Chain A
Amino acid sequence: MLAFLIKRLANAIFVMLSVSFIAFMIFRFVGDPVELMLNEQATQVQRDELRTRLGLDQSFIIQFGTFVSNASKGDFGISFRNQQDVLAMIAERFPATFELVIVATLISLIVGIPMGVITAIRRQTWYAETMQFTSIIGVSLPSFVVGIGLILIFSVWLGWFPAFGRGDTVNIGWWSTGLLTHSGRMSIILPALSLSLFQITLVMRLVRAEMLEVLRSDFIKFARARGVPARIIHFRHALRNCLMPVVTMTAMQIGGLIAFALVTETVFQWPGMGLLFIQAVTFVDVPIMAAYLCIVALIFVVLNTLVDISYAIIDPRLRGAEK
């Protein structure tokens, strides 16, 4: 078990080092920071001075080392565009993205699990087949098209929900939440729905596959033979055995959702980290791009590692398989 833990952690650290290497390379590719920071008339002495001050006269490896050690302390430098601390800018936007992702995840579980159960236990009926068919379409629809469609129908034509922004927010400490105000709750519905659509189909397909598996097992047959009502068999005995993979998959998907939320945030002009990133991309604001990449990758890697480790704790067979 200890060997497994160390291997997983080493793997996570290796991935994070590679990601910070990519982030570091972006800085090097985009151009000489000295040229960007000084004006045309600067003398060679001034240039050399700035170069030394920024550590750019050091070797490549030392520069990368400095970047990694600064990044691990949360110091990603200052935005090229508006001269603010990058980490503070991202932290300010984080609650918006996090709330969006959590609400989307909840929607996908609340809608996806019952749909999965129904398609598994009523396999031959027309409504189960329709759900199965729409799930293929659901996987294929581009998320930004879904978002635009929702805006067109529910905001432009019906006028039920606001089309962009986050509504009014309330500050609890440094965390700003939109979930406590009416306009905030109305604003989150459409973006969360469009972000969760892909997730719903994933949950549904997973629950269906697991249910079909469990329903074939002996203890279900035995419960049937004993005359336990179908409702109790399906929802209490069978479903409970399906939930473990659903929970782990959901946990692993949250990292991906945070990254993918940038598309939804662009469509709905949702003031989260993703929108900040996309705006930074348009202005080639490299410190923000690099910091966002590192932070999202960190969330992604930490979640995946935690899920892997918890799997190994729950299911001892996996520890052997890893070796």
Chain B
Amino acid sequence: MTELQVPSAAKSQPGRIARFLDSDLWWSFKSSKSAVGAAITLGLVIAAALLAPVLSPQNPYDLASLELWNAELPPIWMEGGQMPFLLGTDVQGRDILSGILYGTRISIFIGLASVVVSLAIGIVAGLMAGFYGGWVDNVLMRVGDVLLSIPIILVAILVSSVAQALLPPELREAGISIVLVLAIAMYSWVQYARVVRAQTMVERRKEYVQASRLVGTPARRLMLKHILPNTLTPVFVTATLNFGLAILIEATLSFLGVGMPPDQPSLGTLIRVGNQYLFSGSWWIVLFPSIQLCILVVSVNMLGDWLRDALNPKLR
């Protein structure tokens, strides 16, 4: 349905891109140095992660390509560094740069997936709670209160460690990332639900909703088509900030050993593995994945910070 509408809309008005370039949001983006810097950095990081198979000199998952005599090579600018291992190698002769590029992919994938899952749960819960009120509201918000009154990291550790212990071995490979996504989403849906609920309670009383109700629009359509679009701005800001948080939690879980396993390493796993060689002098194994993780999270958070200020009507 939307596909049919787009061409006609594009003919009658200036194109979407042109309208976007004319908007306040784009203007505030252009004038914020840190936002532009963060966006460019994040773009580069994501592009490099997506192009990992093309860019990286080695496939870190292909055990046949590893040569033990390449183990623990320092970065290229130090004595003993060798091409093509720009950032050095780990104890198994795995190229650090390739590991980072592939690891960033996994980190970004889990971060995105958990944001999507928690958005879906949070929006549905928030709409229902705000629209129906009463016991639906009470139950949903109570569950949310309880989740928020336990430290998140504990819940995530418990869920993922117990779930991993229960997974049958043949499902483990695919299962772990799903478990991680659910463990992170289980906590963060509450924030979306609260934001959507508050907005829904305001919108519900407005005339357009009342009118639409009078003509007999079903509740589901009313919630999704009429109320939801009006709640999305704050949700979008929360989602950006939560994306950074989700990457952080995944990295922390992997670092603690209850996240991604060493044969599918995310950035956190790489740091966990590298941490064991901190005292043997091979500092590059742990340092470069750490730097990449920081760059990723800092740029996402700076974008989120800017977005929050830019979309806040009080600050305009």
Contacts and interface: CB of A to CB of B under 8 A. Distances in A.
B298 A29 contact: no
A18 interface: yes
A188 interface: no
Nearest to A259: B151
B162 interface: yes
B257 A284 contact: no
B301 A260 contact: no
Interface string B48-87: 0000000000000000000000000000000000000000
Interface of chain B, main secondary structure? helix
Interface string A134-157: 001101111111001101100010
B6 interface: no
Interface in A266-323: 266-267, 278, 281-282, 284, 289, 292-293, 296-297, 300-301, 304
B298 A140 contact: yes
Given A15-B149, A141-B294, A145-B290, A293 B278 contact: no
A296 B278 contact: no
A126 interface: no
Contact of B278 (A133, A139, A156, A266): A156
A169 to B, nearest CB: 23
A133 B153 CA distance: 27
Contact of A136 (B252, B271, B298): B298
Contacts of A190: none
Interface string A14-42: 11001100100010011000000000000
B34 A293 contact: no
Nearest to B253: A263
A22 B154 CA distance: 11
Interface residues of A, number: 45
A192 interface: no
B150 A151 contact: no
B275 to A, nearest CB: 6
Given A144-B271, A259-B154, A293-B154, A284 B298 contact: no
Which interface residue of A14, A19, A145, A163 has the most chain B CB atoms within 10 A? A145
A278 B256 contact: yes
Interface of A: 11, 14-15, 18-19, 22, 26, 29-30, 133, 136-137, 139-145, 148-149, 151-152, 156, 163, 255-256, 259-260, 262-263, 266-267, 278, 281-282, 284, 289, 292-293, 296-297, 300-301, 304
Interface of B: 34, 142, 145-146, 149-151, 153-155, 157-158, 161-162, 165-166, 244, 248, 251-252, 255-258, 271, 275, 278-279, 283, 286-287, 290, 293-294, 297-298, 300-302, 305
Given A142-B248, A163-B279, A297-B154, 20 more contacts: A15-B146, A19-B146, A26-B162, A140-B300, A142-B293, A144-B252, A148-B286, A148-B290, A149-B290, A152-B278, A152-B286, A255-B151, A260-B153, A262-B153, A262-B256, A263-B252, A278-B157, A281-B161, A293-B154, A304-B149
26 contacts: A14-B142, A15-B146, A18-B146, A30-B165, A140-B244, A140-B301, A141-B294, A141-B297, A142-B248, A142-B293, A142-B297, A144-B252, A145-B294, A151-B278, A152-B278, A152-B287, A156-B278, A156-B279, A263-B153, A266-B256, A278-B157, A282-B257, A284-B161, A293-B154, A293-B158, A297-B149
